Structure 1
C-alpha cells in the first residue's frame, strides 16, 4: 500500500522529470548508497571486497558504456575489451611512468579510449549491424597486437605493466576498503552522469537512431555526429572501467585480461541485464560475475556431501552447464533482461493487493 503514485502532486518540471519520482524509490536508493559506502567497507572481508565487489563494480561500469553504444544508440560492438585495454594501459602509463595524479590518470585512460572510439566510430555512418560488429572485432585484434608488439606501450612480449602503490591526495590506498571506496565513488559518479545523459536531447537522439536511423535523419538528427558521440562516450566508460580493473583488482595492466572473451562477457551482461537500461548493466554484471562463484561453491558443497562421487571434472562441467542453463532460462522467461523483470515486479507492487 505504500508503493503508490496516488496522492503525489507534482507542480514543477523538475519534479515531473525526477529520476526517482516515488518517495520509496528515493529512500531505497539512499539506503543502498549508505550501506555500500558506510557499512560494507567496514564489515566485509578482504575477499568479498577485492574478489567480488570491486570487479562487479568495474564490469558494471564497462557494461554501462556498452549499453550506451548498443542499448541506447543501437550500434553493435564486439571490441569493447579493446577500449578497456587502451584505458588500462593509458592510465597505468600516466600514473606509473609519468607520475600523474591518480584521478588524472583515470581521465587520461578514459580519453585515450575515447580517442580510439572516435576513430572506430567513423565507419558507423556507412556500415551498421553485423558489418559494424566485424569492424569492432577487427579493432579488438588490432589493439591486442599493438599493445603486445609496441614496446613503449606494453613493455615487451608479455605486455604486463605493474601498477605502483596507489595514493590519492597523499592518502595511500593500500587496503581493500580504500580501493573499494575509490571504485565505488568513480562508478557512482559516472552512473549518475550516464543516467542523466540518456534522458537529455542526446539520449533521445540515440534512441531515435536505434529505432530507425533513416527516420531520425529525416527528422534532422545528424547520424555521424551522434553515432560518433555514442562511440566516444562508450569508449570513455570502457577506458575508465579498464583502469579500475587494473588499479584496484589486478594491480597490473595485462593484455590477457582484455581479450575477445571479455568483450563477449560484457555483451552478455547487457543482454542478460537488459539493453537500454542503466540498472540492467548492474544486474547483468552481478549475474555474470557473482553467479558462477556461487555455483562453484555450491558444487564444492555437493562434492563434499556426495563423499567424492562427484569428481572435480564433473563439478567444473556442471558449473558451465548450470550457468548456461540459467542464462537461457532468464532469456526465455524475459527476453528484455533482468531489468524488465524488476520493472514488472514494481508495476505489480503499484497495484497490489488490488487486482486492477
Structure 2
C-alpha cells in the first residue's frame, strides 16, 4: 500500500512542480488583459472584430445585466431588450442634442435613463412575483417599442425611425474602425464587469442573494426588501442600457426600435440560462455559445451539407440544431455551462491524484 502511494506521489510531483510556473490569480488577469488589448487588435481581422468579438462582448454585458436581476436577485424579467432600446435611443439623443458632450458621458447618461426606467418597471416587484412579474416586464417591452415607433422625436424625426451612430471619438482618438470599436467595447465591458464583480461581493450583492434565496427570511433579518429589489432593477437596467448603446453605436452602426424586440429579450434570457444563473462568467460563456454556435453551424453546413440541404432551408436547419443543443445542455447541465466548466477545471487541477 505504501509503495503504491509513493509511486502515485512520485508520478504527480513533476506535474505539481510544473503548475507552480503556470500563471494563477492576478497573473491570469494580466495575461488575459495583455492578450485582449495588446495582441488581438493587431492579430485579428475585420470579420473577427465586427462579426464575432464585438457582438460577443455586447451580449456578455447584456447577459451580465440580466444575471444581476434574475440570477442574483431572483426577479424574473423578459424585458431586457426594452432597457437596451432606452439606453441606445437615450445615448443617441444626448450625443445629438448636447453639443460637445463626450461619448463616454453620453453612454453613462443613457445607462442612467435606462436605470430610472428600470426602477419604475421594478415597482410591481414589491407586490407581485413569478409569472405575474414576467407579464409586467413583458408589458414594458411592448410599451417601449411602441413609444419609439409612435413618437418621431426620439429618432430625430427620421421617416424610418432609424438612428445612426456618431463617431466614437474618445480624447481625440477615433475608434470607428473595426479594431477600434472592439477596443472601445472591450474597455467599457471590462470596467463594468470589474464593478459588477466587486458589487456582487459587497453587502449589496449579499442582500440580493438573500432576497433571491428567501425574501421572507431576508425581511426577518432586517434587509430592506423594497430598496434591494429596486436597486437590482436599476443596476441591471443600467448595464442593459449601456449594452444597448454599444449594440447600436459599436456593433450595428444604425438601429431601429424593431431591433430590440421580444426575440432579443429571449436571446439574452437564453444567455444566462445556458451560461449559468447567478454566475458572473456564465454571462460570457452563454454569450460565446449564442454567438459562436450559429457561426460554426453555418460553416459546417456550407462545407459538408451543401448538397444535402437546399440553400433556402440551411438557415432553418441551423435554428433546429441550435434549439436542440440548447435543450440538450439544459437537460444535461441545468445549472449552466459555467458549473460544467468549473467541475472540469477542478478535475484537471486534482489530476492525477484524483481521477
Q: TM-score, normalised by structure 1?
A: 0.91
Structure 2: distance between partners of 1:291 and 1:3: 34
Secondary structure of 2:226's counterpart equals helix
1:51-108 residue CA offsets vs partner (Å, 9 max, x unmatched): 1110110110010000000000000001010000000001111113323210001011
1:233-262 residue CA offsets vs partner (Å, 9 max, x unmatched): 000000000001111111123212111100
- 1:24-35 to structure 2, matched below 5 A, reads 24-35=24-35
8 Å contact kept, 1:150–1:156: no
- 1:104 equivalenced with 2:94 (yes/no): no
Task: Report the alpha carbon displacement of residue 328 of structure 1 after superposing the two structures with TM.
Answer: 1.5
Task: Report the alpha carbon displacement of residue 23 of structure 1 after superposing the two structures with TM.
Answer: 5.6
Structure 2, unaligned runs of 5 or more: 1-11
- Give the direction of change, closer, same or farther, for the CA distance of 1:151–1:314 in structure 2 (3 Å limit): closer
1:4-29 residue CA offsets vs partner (Å, 9 max, x unmatched): 8xxx9xxxxxxxxxxxxx96243333
- 1:354 equivalenced with 2:353 (yes/no): yes
1:98-149 residue CA offsets vs partner (Å, 9 max, x unmatched): 2321000101110010010010111111001111111000000110011111
Bigger mean CA offset, 163-172 vs 76-85: 163-172
Structure 2: distance between partners of 1:315 and 1:147: 34
- 1:1-356 to structure 2, matched below 5 A, reads 24-99=24-99, 100-154=101-155, 155-156=157-158, 158-304=160-306, 308-355=307-354
1:265-292 residue CA offsets vs partner (Å, 9 max, x unmatched): 0000000000000100000011011211
Secondary structure of 1:74's counterpart equals coil
How large is the RMSD of aligned CA atoms in angstroms? 1.9
Structure 2: distance between partners of 1:108 and 1:152: 18
Q: How many residues align?
A: 338
8 Å contact kept, 2:119–2:230: yes
Structure 2: distance between partners of 1:310 and 1:74: 43
Structure 2: distance between partners of 1:298 and 1:349: 30
8 Å contact kept, 2:347–2:354: no
Structure 1: distance between partners of 2:308 and 2:285: 35
Q: TM-score, normalised by structure 2?
A: 0.91
Structure 2: distance between partners of 1:93 and 1:233: 21
Structure 2: distance between partners of 1:171 and 1:204: 40
Which structure's CA Rg is the greater one?
2
Task: Report the alpha carbon displacement of residue 315 of structure 1 after superposing the two structures with TM.
Answer: 2.0
Structure 2: distance between partners of 1:124 and 1:104: 30
Structure 1: distance between partners of 2:29 and 2:348: 17
Bigger mean CA offset, 309-318 vs 181-190: 309-318
1:195-239 residue CA offsets vs partner (Å, 9 max, x unmatched): 110111111111110011111111111110000000000000000
Structure 1: distance between partners of 2:253 and 2:96: 12
Structure 1, unaligned runs of 5 or more: 9-21
Task: Report the alpha carbon displacement of residue 157 of structure 1 after superposing the two structures with TM.
Answer: 5.5
